[in-house]
Amino acid sequence: MTATPYPGGQWVGTVGDEPVDYPVVGSVNRFLGQVWSVKTDTVNIDGHVVDRDFVVHTGAVAVAAIDDEGRIYLLRQYRHPVAMMMFEVPAGLLDVAGEDALNTAKRELAEEAGLEASEWHVLVDFFTSPGGLSEAIRVFLARDLRAREGGRVLTGEAEEADMPGCWVDLDEAANRVFDGSLGNPTTVVSILAAVTARASGWESLRPGDSDWPVRQHLLDAGRVRTDVAPRH
């Protein structure tokens, strides 16, 4: 057995995710879909050469839109892989070439909720399932909201054509996470992050136009699907 370089098997360094560059010695594309693709990389991890299958994703953004009454906007949408109607925060793929994440978030808020906001912050960044999926999501906090003139921008089809929305008190939304009523991962993360950030008066949040180094790392590492047609 190889000796661990960590005393007693315990990590003693800084706690924080960091990029690594293990050599990929081979790669096979297994599936190319409209939005996702699946590939197998043969990677050398400290002398262990192994195959790893994963889904290559475009990346996405989401918006926790919270009004002056402390309510968060949720919309109801069908999700075919789980055969469920789910309540979600407005969200969308990063599938428009050259569009930065904040502008994508603003567009999605208009398209899915018919809302605009004057105040934007980064609420939280996360990976949905890094063991098998390269999707990274940035969730923005949108406040100082107003209804968009003309309402929602109707651009979707099928499950995106009819997405009724509602305002839910943030604490009630958190309760619905804890009792299992809300299970969309982006929604769960957005609600709980918003509750935590609100407790500090939103002072801990980054500006909406902050850099997203993880996104750039994924692009540099070839972990982002960049050849899909915008779904708008």
Catalytically annotated residues: 160
Q: What are phi and psi of 159, to 5 degrees?
A: -65, -15
Please name the residues in contact with 52: beta carbons below 8 A apart, sequence gap of 6 or more.
40, 41, 42, 43
Contact status, residue 168 vs residue 81, Cβ threshold 8 Å: no
> 72-85 in b/e burial notation, b at 16+ Cβ within 10 A?
bbbbebeeeeeeee
The Cα 112–Cα 114 span in angstroms is: 6
Half-sphere exposure of 219 (CA within 13 A, CB side): 11
Contact status, residue 102 vs residue 111, Cβ threshold 8 Å: no
Token pair for residue 102? 């904040």
Contact status, residue 120 vs residue 109, Cβ threshold 8 Å: no
User: What is the 8-class DSSP label of residue 174?
Assistant: H
